[in-house]
Structure 1
Amino acid sequence: MRQLVFAAALLPLSLSAQFTLQTSNTTAGLRGIANVDGQIAWASGTGGTVLKTLDGGARWSACATPAGAEKLDFRGIQAFDAKTAIVMSSGKGDLSRVYKTTDGCATWQLAFTNPDAPDGFFDAMYFTRRDEGWLLGDPVKGSFYLASTTDAGATWTRSKSPDLNAPARNIGAFAASNQSFIISLSGPIFGGGAGYLYRGSWPGCSQSQSYNQPELCLDRLPFDRIHLPLQAEGDAAGIFALIATSQAIVAVGGDYTQPGNSTMTAAVSLDDGQTWHAAMTQPHGYRSTVAYDVTTKTWITTGPNGTDISTDNGIHWQPLLPNPARGDAPGADKDWNALSLPFVVGPKGRIARLRTDAFQSAR
């Protein structure tokens, strides 16, 4: 196991370079964001809202609202190109649904509805490619809901793994940014309340079994439950977002009712999730989302009270502040919900794009 022995003194106190605010033409609360190629991106939020840009955010246009979805809260979206996207709503019972478009959001098809209505609540949707995806939901009858699709969302197979039991009745996952579930090198990982993380390991299934009998592989999928060094007291605290690279897995969170509390808001694993350590220098508040910039090898996390970055795999974090000299709007680092670089979304239709030179002075 690699040890956390990086020197905090090597890091500057703060950096200047930030988000360029864009016009979304909506007041919806946005929590879903999916970048395709830097030019094409999709966003989603309250009131059945779905947005799309084809020019890097210079113009965001509203999509047609799926029939019957006018009051749904679209917390997660996965986009594949300018015409194809899948959106997930989060809500109690049958308010948790999955819709799909293949014609650029002119029309939508209802692909899936929470089968546990009136119970259950979808928290995250994650696609590894067009035909393979996952759904995570709050516990029903004591076990987390976990399902996968191998036909691009047309059908979903639920896991019956006995390792999905929740540690307590009031502990579920969070649907803050569609990032409570990821796939790492070893398998699926998800986090939730009280700082609990579930680390899965791929079973010995052949490719043909995965496609033809996915339920057998899902039911054999073992999970270890690990308690991370993150805020854990109360229903509003725990793991809110995860991201994995070949070098590290980073978890961020805290207590969303205490956005300025910087105690235990980030943890890191350098061995694919087997062991975890609290970040040596923490982000300066509750964080709901985290992303990784491959080009500059920089991690970024943001939330209601600001933005932080790390250049050493999430071990040390430093604030990323607006720079008025570069035209940054005051508070451009704050009031964000979800990242899909270079885009970020937040409440009241807030949307922005990270400047290309944002991390330049961090290296």
Structure 2
Amino acid sequence: MKYVPVAAMMCGLAAPVALGQWRAQAVDTKADFRGLWVVGPDVAWVSGTAGTFARTTDGGKTWAVGTVRGAAALDFRAVRAFGADTAYLLSAGPGDASRVYKTTDGGKSWAMQFKAANPAAFFDAIAFWDEKAGLALGDPIDGRFQLIATSDGGATWAPLAPRVLPPALPGEAAFAASNTCLVARGESDAWFVTGGGKTARVFHSRDRGRTWDVSDTPVAAGVESAGAFSIAFRDKDHGLIVGGDYRKPGETGATVAATSDGGRTWTRLDKRLPFCSAVAWAGERWVAVGTSGAHASRDGDAWERLDRENYNSVGFGPAGGGWAAGPKGRVAAVGR
């Protein structure tokens, strides 16, 4: 789903992180960042508008900014990296503006691996189980969500069979706000969250997208601009979703819900958290970001404000330490 406001929106078990010590970092671009992937304490990637990406290999001391050749009109809403050299970018846009690119040389060159052929296509997010196997999610066409998959590191991307594509409610779609509406975990699990319909929902596959279960959630929905924006897990059973209505960024209420059974059921939590478009597990706390700033919680049910900056994405590495990214080249580091 096209997500217009430059508002905010990963998850692995990390070491405890000292939060509240956010430090702005110098990135020489005015691009609006939504994609973010933290590889580790030294390496992270961000991506955004005007075909832009940036990478640090020294813990954020310096960021190298680049653009993908021939992609100046694209908005890279998602990046997924496997180290300092290998990364994927997904652009969100109508029709053939939805694409996947890959680099294996740290961004010096990029190969286009996929370009949507259907003019009704709009891809939202990309996720991988390992360096070979991944999945990309698109908004519904003819009433069914679109999914493409690779098992060879992106050399080929194939649409899943129409019979396995999960059906959508009227108006339902995913928010291309930070690449956290879709997550892959373990050997074969995947989840994605939705909005825009009468109910915000969570879809779960245990077999890399061949079959899907769906659960209703208590997150605000019912209008095009509201729903679940982001999903993250701290282990195979415990996870959070965050969202709300991006057109009412300061409104609190049904913006966060938790699961303790791998996403089968969801419970509404703290009513004081404003709209958020991304959530991540930071080792001992959840961190959620959005238009109104960043918040942290140990249990998801009581949140404390970290700052009031506008962020679109947040992520933490497996060894601790993380980044948040947002509009006009904003990147901040935490826990380092």
TM over 0.5: yes
Counterpart position of 2:201: 196
Residue 337 of structure 1 is aligned with which of 288, 309, 312?
312
- What is the match of residue 175 of structure 1? 176
Q: Cα deviations across residues 248-273 of structure 1 (Å, max 9, x unaligned)?
A: 12100000000001110001110111
Q: Which consecutive residues of structure 2, in runs of 5 or more, have no partner in the other structure?
A: 1-17, 317-321
Distance of 1:163 and 1:81 partners within structure 2? 31
Matched residues in 2 for 1:224 and 1:100: separation? 31
* Structure-2-length-normalised TM-score: 0.87
CA deviation map 1:199-220 (0-9, x unaligned): 2233xxxxxxxxxxxxxx75xx
Give the aligned partner of residue 300 of structure 1: 287
Alignment of 1:120-269 (within 5 A): 120-160=121-161, 161-162=163-164, 164-168=166-170, 170-184=171-185, 187-193=189-195, 194=197, 195-202=200-207, 218=209, 221-246=210-235, 247-269=237-259
Aligned to 2:26: 23
Pairwise CA distance, 1:110: 0.7
- Give the match for residue 305 of structure 2: 320
**CA distance in structure 2 between the partners assigned to 1:198 and 1:36 by the alignment:** 26
TM-score by length of 1: 0.81
Question: Is 1:68 matched with 2:57?
Answer: no
Q: How far does residue 135 in structure 1 lie from its aligned partner after superposition?
A: 0.2
Contact 1:191/1:198 (8 A) holds in 2: yes
Any idea what the Cα deviations from partners look like across 1:4-23, whole Å, max 9, x if unmatched? xxxxxxxxxxx982311111
* Cα offset, 1:282, TM superposition: 3.6
Aligned partner (choices 41, 44, 54) of residue 44 of structure 2: 41
Q: Does residue 81 of structure 1 match 2:61?
A: no
CA–CA distance in 2 between the matches of 1:289 and 1:87? 18
| Cα displacement (A) at 1:132 | 1.1
Determine the structure 1 residue equivalent to 2:267: 277
Q: Contact 2:19 / 2:334 at 8 angstroms: preserved in 1? A: no
Distance 1:129 1:16, change over 3 A: closer
8 Å contact 1:39–1:53 — kept in the other structure?
yes
CA RMSD of aligned residues (A): 1.8
- Counterpart code for 2:144: S
Question: Partner amino acid for 1:134?
Answer: L
Structure-2 separation of matches of 1:283 and 1:31: 25
In 1, the alpha carbon distance for the partners of 2:215 and 2:294 equals 27
Structure whose residues are more often helix by fraction: 1
Partners of 1:333 and 1:22 lie apart in 2 by 16
* 1:269–1:61 CA distance, 2 compared to 1 (3 A): same
Structure number, greater radius of gyration: 1
What is the aligned counterpart of 1:349 among 324, 329, 332?
329
Tell me, what secondary structure is at the counterpart of 1:174?
coil
Amino acid at match of 1:114: A
CA positional deviation for 1:233: 2.2
Q: How many Å apart are 1:78 and its aligned residue?
A: 0.8
Judge which range, 337-346 or 241-250, deviates more. 241-250
Residue identity in the other structure for 1:32: G
Name the amino acid aligned to 2:282.
D
CA distance in 2: counterparts of 1:346 and 1:180, whole angstroms:
17
AA at the equivalent of 1:80: F
Question: How far does residue 298 in structure 1 lie from its aligned partner after superposition?
Answer: 1.1
Distance in 2, matches of 1:101 and 1:19, equals 30
Number of equivalences: 308
> Within 2, Cα distance between the matches of 1:23 and 1:258?
30
1:213 aligns with none
Cα shift readout 1:296-347 (whole Å, capped 9, x = no counterpart): x2111010112221212x2x131233xxxxxxxxxx4420000122011001
Q: CA deviation at 1:44?
A: 0.5
CA distance in 2, matches of 1:16, 1:132: 33
**Paired letter, 1:121:** F
CA contact (8 A) 2:202 2:263 kept: no
